[in-house]
Structure 1
Amino acid sequence: MPLYEHVMIARQDLSSAQAEGLIEHFGTVLADNGGKLVESEYWGVKTMAYKINKNRKGHYAFLKTDAPAAAVQEMERLMRLHDDVMRILTIKVDAHEDGPSVQMQKREERGDRPDRGDRPDRGDRPDRGERRERY
């Protein structure tokens, strides 16, 4: 069966338990249609870049699924009809990555971005010398 990853944003006025209940509900929808919820992560309440339905924040959840296309379409349809779900994103992947998602990893564990001390030499640009007072 194809593998999918979903990100869901629920309304901010829900409790954490209600948001996690939504994850379980949509997992059972997949199971009823022949798929399975491989893993789910609750990312918590995060601030969005722009307002969606007059909400500035939302409960974020990440789902990894192994389900046929019909089951995913049914889950997406029910998510779009559900009043508490504001946005969903579904991506088909070749394989699920092991371990926690990038959002759940601590900043020190990510490590892909070099520190400022790792910058290369400035090349042919001369040293500017001592900094002087302005004005």
Structure 2
Amino acid sequence: MPLYEHVMIARQDLSATQAESLIEHFGTVLSDNGGKLVENEYWGVKTMAYKINKNRKGHYAFLRTDAPAPAIQEMERLMRLHEDVMRVLTIKVDVHAEGPSAQMQKRDERDRGPRERR
């Protein structure tokens, strides 16, 4: 099955447990449609670069999924209809990266590559 990565932004006035229950809800939507939620990360409340629906902050979540295209389409449709979800980004990937995402790594652990002199 194809592999996907999703980033979801939920409203800032939700509690952390409500935001994590949203992740579980959309994971069950995937499993009901023949897919599975491989891994999820709750990134917490972060300040956005610009306002979305009069909100400056939002709960960010990252999902790694292994599901057929119709299951992904159904999950995205339900995310867009859900009143607590503000934005969704879905990307198809060839392989899931091992370990935590760049957001969850500590600043000194990130591989930034060599710096070039100016």
If the TM-score is normalised by the length of the shorter chain, which range does it land in?
over 0.9
Provide the rounded CA distance (Å) in 2 between the counterparts of 1:109 and 1:31. Answer: 34
Runs of 4+ in 1 over 6 A off after TM superposition: none
1:1-135 alignment runs, 5 A limit: 1-112=1-112, 114=114, 120=117
Provide the rounded CA distance (Å) in 2 between the counterparts of 1:119 and 1:68. Answer: 43
Query: Which one has more relative contact order, counting CA pairs under 8 Å at least 6 apart?
Result: 2
Shift of 1:13: 0.0
Aligned length: 118
One-letter amino acid matched to 2:40: S
One-letter amino acid matched to 2:104: M
The structure with more strand, counted as a fraction of residues:
2
Identity rate of aligned residues, in percent?
82
Q: Which 5+ residue runs of structure 1 have no aligned equivalent?
A: 123-135
Q: Name which one, 1 or 2, has greater alpha-carbon Rg.
A: 1
Residues 119/5 of structure 1: CA separation in 2 closer, same or farther (3 Å cut): closer
Q: Which 5+ residue runs of structure 2 have no aligned equivalent?
A: none
Provide the rounded CA distance (Å) in 2 between the counterparts of 1:93 and 1:82. Answer: 25
The alignment's TM-score, normalised by the length of structure 1, stands at 0.84
One-letter amino acid matched to 1:35: G
Residues 34/56 of structure 1: CA separation in 2 closer, same or farther (3 Å cut): same
Provide the rounded CA distance (Å) in 2 between the counterparts of 1:14 and 1:119. Answer: 43
Question: How big is each residue's C-alpha offset from its partner over 1:101-122, in whole Å with a ceiling of 9 and x where there is no partner?
Answer: 00000000014155xxx664x7
